[in-house]
Structure 1
Amino acid sequence: MQQMQRQIERLEREQRQSAQQREVAAGVPADVVTGGDMPGSFKVPGSETSVQIGGYVKFDAIYDLDQDLGDTLFVDGLDASDDSGDPSFRSHARQSRLYIKTSTPTALGAATTHIEGDFFGGGGNEVFSNSRGFRLRHAYGELAGLLAGQTWSNFMHFSAYPTTVDFDGPVGVSFIRQAQVRYTLPVGPGELSLAAENPEGTGYAESRDTAPDVTARYKWQGAAAAVEAGALLRRLETDDAAASSDDAATGYGLMLAGNVDVADSTRLMAGVLYGDGIGRYIYTANGSEDGDSIGAAYIDPDGSLETIEAYGFNTAVVQEWTPAFTSSLSYGLVRGDRPEDIFPTSTRTLQSIHFSHFYQWSDPVTLGFEVSHAYKELQNRDDADNTRLQFSAQYSF
């Protein structure tokens, strides 16, 4: 009897093993979730599409010593007529963000998508709920070098963009997201990107967009250094009745940036932007219809649409003290050339300094502290400044 029982148990084991082998040979059942091709991703059941969900929750506490600049250090928001020096405090969680990325294998390579948003949209107040509107940051797809959708402009220099606790970061950089069609191809040791991007004329009334902004960028990335160069060409037009003679102008911009590791734990970076009619492609040079900011163009007394010459510069040093603790010191400058006799209260110069520190408390949690300073000068040489202290806690997932 015992021998028969052992034979029965052996046959049952062999049947179970055979069934398991048949299941493996037949593949994973269609309704089972498996690991995806991207880190931390999963595959949609019944497909080869990998999905990655991530983001972070970020708390910011801000203390302005001189002027209340709001939830970000928006340097052009300084009021040159206010020299009262009243301190203010605020806290928020608006930088918290969420993204969804996908990757699907095709005969041409991986087809990827990226959708992302944060809470710097409009609406909300601090009376009851402190609710804030969710806004779109990125929404694009990419396959075989062709990208279509909304993301960072092709005229941005990522190799010289330092990380700051402040959401805005330094002035003097190109910082813009917009809809575009972009194609990237390898050229020599680097890659060339060409794009047609959403246009938006700023700095004058009744702007009319008639053609996409065209951008080109070449990037080389080495083991301890990187270099980027870019160019921008744009058409500016207005329907304002004051533009009685020439209601159109051509704007352009040039960009050069790079970084280099001068030691195993020290990186230097710098970037420069210059253009005539470059406008909003230099951060904080967006401009307004009343002429109080730099902008891309203005309507002169003769009725002609005239482009505005402007340039931006930024530099930074990043020091990794330990694998968990990093500091950076960054400086930015923007200069615009609106005529002083027509726009005496227009922005002439903007400057910013950020002294930032980041401590990775645990794998998903980073604490930050920063001292920053903002300076604004008008065409009539009136000026204002503000010093800010900021603490942050970021919980990534």
Structure 2
Amino acid sequence: MRPIFRLAARCALLAAGTLAVTHARGQDPNSQARLDSLEARMRRLELRINRIDPDPRSQTRSAIESGRFGGFVLADNKGVSLEIGGFVQFDAIHDFHRTSNHDAFQPSSILIPNDHKTSTSYSIRQTRFNFIGTIPIGKNSLKTILEFDLFNPDGSSVPRLRHAWGEYGRFGAGQYWSNFMDIDVFPNTLDYYGPNSMVFTRQVQVRYTQPVGEHTKIAVSLEKPSGNITLPADSGYASLQQLPDAVLSIRHDWGTGNHIKLAGAFHPLTYETPALDRKSAPGWGVNLTGAFQLPNKDNFVYQAAYGEGIANYLNDIGGNGYDAIYHSPEKKLNTVPALGLMGFYDHWWSDKWSSTVGWAYLTLKPKAYQPPADFNWSHYGVGNLLWYPNGFMKVGIEYLYGYRNNIDSMNADNHRLQLSAMFKF
């Protein structure tokens, strides 16, 4: 029998015993003591299993990504708890033009040239489950997060690790959202990837957060080296992960749902020559993000990111080798400038209906010696209508538009319709 059901059965047996003792109170002089004992045991068991009911409007994408929604909680009367949560999501996706990514909307994956053939796919890969543990230790609590989804890079539905994170007081370590990004500006989309230009990555890191006021905090982190560079093929050159990324951020919150965050990243890029000489090029970036909530509880989120050698942080092109390009005649690794802009507006028709509209733009400043078919810039647009029949479900339809332009000005676009249903547990 599962632990949850065993606890429920024990509660039921204790409740029955309490009723029996209450009935026998007038016949047994010790019945009051027995009743008090049984009631105390029931209170302890009730503390061990609980369900946090989500508040209205808690199924938004940023709330889900940041873990601000309820799960089943197992706890005891000493404050130790384990929260089990997640959701099942079904996606029906129809593309009007050809793309190589059928499960998430990624403008850089639009095929060029494009024969405009349509395709339809069904997916459950957004399905997710997580475990959050809390243990009071001294003046602080030790919090751990373990989270998986089914969005495996190889296209399978094998569970994939998203977060493995622990924090105690002001210190945190493990794999979690990069300090350079702001998960609270993720727009309320059904699409898995989200905006092309968003700084969006999970990093293995160690982080320290220092409050500097009632509503302001500074965080500094050392994150896993993750340079993604293009080196001469079959030449013996090798990309190295030698120095960690250093990220510093400051965030200020005010009112309800309002914040602004400024983050800076130093992103060293290192490679080794065939002669085993090691050389580096400095990558860097700044990221300004924020959210503004209107009096009617509508929400506007934005981001402006710029840097050189930070393509690996950007949602649409991370991992494609655009942090830096090696130029053989110069015998030099040159970083690629990148700019990412986005703005999205969430409108709530009521607590059960909402819509999100917005646009994002991503551009690189290519080098003259790059291949003409390399990525240059892209657009990402979205509009949706979402329905929340209760605190545990979300159903919606979404229109997505993407446009890709290469260095040689060859381009193509794609239109997508996505119908999704999410069921939280």
In structure 2, what is the equivalent of residue 16 of structure 1? 31
Name the count of aligned residue pairs: 375
Question: What SS does the corresponding residue of 1:136 show, helix, strand or coil?
Answer: strand
Please state if 1:198 is matched with 2:212: no
Aligned to 1:379: 407
- The counterpart of 2:179, out of the listed 154, 157, 174, is 154
Q: Secondary structure at the match of 2:181?
A: coil
After superposition, the C-alpha distances for 1:217-268 in whole angstroms (9 at most, x for unaligned) are 1111112421110000021111244998x83111111011112223313222
**Amino acid across the alignment from 1:16:** S
Query: Pairwise mapping of residues 245-324 of structure 1 onto structure 2 (< 5 A)?
Result: 247-289=279-321, 295-301=322-328, 302-324=330-352
Q: CA deviation at 1:286?
A: 2.0
Give the gaps of 5 or more residues in structure 1.
1-8, 125-130, 290-294
Structure 1 contact 242–303 (Cα < 8 Å) conserved: no
User: Which stretch has the larger CA shift, 100-109 or 386-395?
Assistant: 100-109
Tell me the distance in 2 between the aligned counterparts of 1:134 and 1:10. 55
Matched with 2:202 is 177
1:227 corresponds to:
260
Give the equivalent residue in structure 1 for 2:48: 34
AA matched with 2:324: A
Residue 43 to residue 12, structure 1, CA distance change in 2 (3 Å): farther
Structure 2 segments unaligned to the other structure (5+ residues) = 1-23, 53-69, 232-237
* Aligned-pair CA distance for 1:143: 0.9
CA distance in 2, matches of 1:46, 1:218: 36
- Asked if 2 retains the 8 angstrom alpha-carbon contact of 1:356 and 1:371, the reply is yes
Change in Cα spacing, 1:216 to 1:37, as seen in structure 2 (3 Å) is farther
Structure 1 window deviating more from structure 2 (34-43 vs 64-73): it is 34-43
SS at structure 2 position matched to 1:181: strand
Determine helix, strand or coil for the equivalent of 2:247: strand
**2:151 corresponding residue in structure 1:** 120
User: Residue 59 of structure 1 aligns with which residue?
Assistant: 90
Q: Deviations over 1:13-33 (max 9, x none)?
A: 4312112335667x7799997
> CA 1:240–1:385 in structure 2 vs 1: closer, same or farther (change >3 Å)?
farther
Deviation per CA, 1:123-169: give whole Å up to 9, x if none.
56xxxxxx611100011111102111111101112343212111011
CA distance in 2, matches of 1:243, 1:172: 36
What is the SS of the residue equivalent to 2:287? strand
% identity of equivalent residues? 26
Name the residue aligned to 2:8: none
| CA contact 1:331–1:351 (8 Å) conserved in 2 | yes
Q: State the AA in 2 paired with 1:231.
A: G
The DSSP-based 3-state class of the residue aligned with 2:225 is coil
The structure-2 alpha-carbon separation of the partners of 1:56 and 1:42, relative to structure 1 and needing over 3 Å to count, comes to: closer
Name 1:111's counterpart in structure 2: 142
TM-score (norm 2): 0.82
Q: CA deviation at 1:11?
A: 6.3
- Cα distance in 2 for partners of 1:31, 1:266 equals 41
Q: Report what 2:6 is aligned to.
A: none
Change (3 A) 1:327 1:123: same
Kindly state the Cα deviation for residue 328 of structure 1 after the two structures are TM-superposed.
0.6
1:106 Cα offset (Å)? 1.5
AA aligned to 1:109 is N
2:130 maps to: 99
Equivalent residue in structure 1 for 2:212, among 187, 195, 208: 187
CA distance in 2, matches of 1:86, 1:383: 16
Deviation at 1:363, TM superposition (A): 2.7
User: 1:374 offset after TM fit, Å?
Assistant: 0.7
Tell me the CA shift for residue 122 of structure 1: 4.6
What is the CA–CA distance in structure 2 between the aligned matches of 1:348 and 1:143, rounded to whole Å? 43
**Whole-Å separation in 2 of the counterparts to 1:386 and 1:180:** 36
Partners of 2:26 and 2:158 lie apart in 1 by: 64
- Deviations along 1:91-111, whole A, 9 cap, x unmatched? 110000101111111113111
SS in structure 2 at match of 1:211: coil
Query: Which position in structure 2 is the counterpart of 1:355?
Result: 383
Match in the other structure for 2:270: 237
Contact kept? 2:357, 2:384, Cα under 8 Å: yes
